[in-house]
Amino acid sequence: MIRRLTFIAWIALIGLIASCDGDKGDVGPAGPAGPKGETGAPGKDGADGEDGKDGVGAKEIVATAVKSTKGGYTLGKSNLSAADTALINKSVVVVFIKSQGVWWSQPGIVRFADDKWTNFTFVTLLRNNTFFVDIRPQSWSEQQDTAPERDFEAIRAVIIPAEKLRLNAEVDMKNYEEVVSTFGIKESDILQADVK
């Protein structure tokens, strides 16, 4: 019996000694860097993409020479392809209104003849395969309760993929010509508005 108790006490003592941790000292200084290894072989080149098929570029929905309704205007494009609706879902929309030969970025003031102006804002909506841009008057130069009717030389809704916008953050988004140039909008990227 004493042998068993001595054996159990011995095991307990070993367990107690092994589980004790003393104070740990500070970490010592780093050793010298080892020699630089050899550079590996370069990987294989990726496959070339098809020109004009790889990236998704910006598009425009345009309306020319239109008159406002209740001081604003709604333009849109119906029967969009699945690719176009996917593009719109991951894009930023910038609107420009042309008046007196000048492109005015929105939201903001648009100046008209005879020192008249309207401050517009806009909202967008994608419903099924139809995209709408609703331009709404906020304030105007005339002293009246309802927004005055205006003649627009043109309206352009530029649809810019968010990734393209992120890569071109330095673009002046108030300058229509710079936006078109930077995002490479071509005739094939222009869609005529068919919802008014």
Cβ-contact 170, 181 below 8 angstroms: no
Angstrom distance (rounded) from CA 160 to CA 152? 23
CB neighbour class for 145 (10 Å; exposed up to 12, middle 13-18, buried from 19): exposed
Q: Whose CA is closest to 112, among 148, 80, 78, 84?
A: 148
Cβ-contact 171, 182 below 8 angstroms: yes
In the chain the first and final C-alpha atoms are separated, in Å, by: 102
Instruction: Please give the DSSP secondary-structure letter assigned to residue 21.
Output: -
Give the tens place of pLDDT for each residue, 17-66.
Answer: 666 666 677 787 888 888 888 887 887 776 655 444 445 678 999 999 99
Q: Whose CA is closest to 92, among 17, 14, 195, 167?
A: 167
Give the Cβ contact number of residue 167 at 10 Å: 10
pTM attached to this predicted model: 0.69
Give the tens place of pLDDT for each residue, 67-120.
Answer: 999 999 999 999 998 888 988 999 999 999 999 999 999 999 999 999 999 999
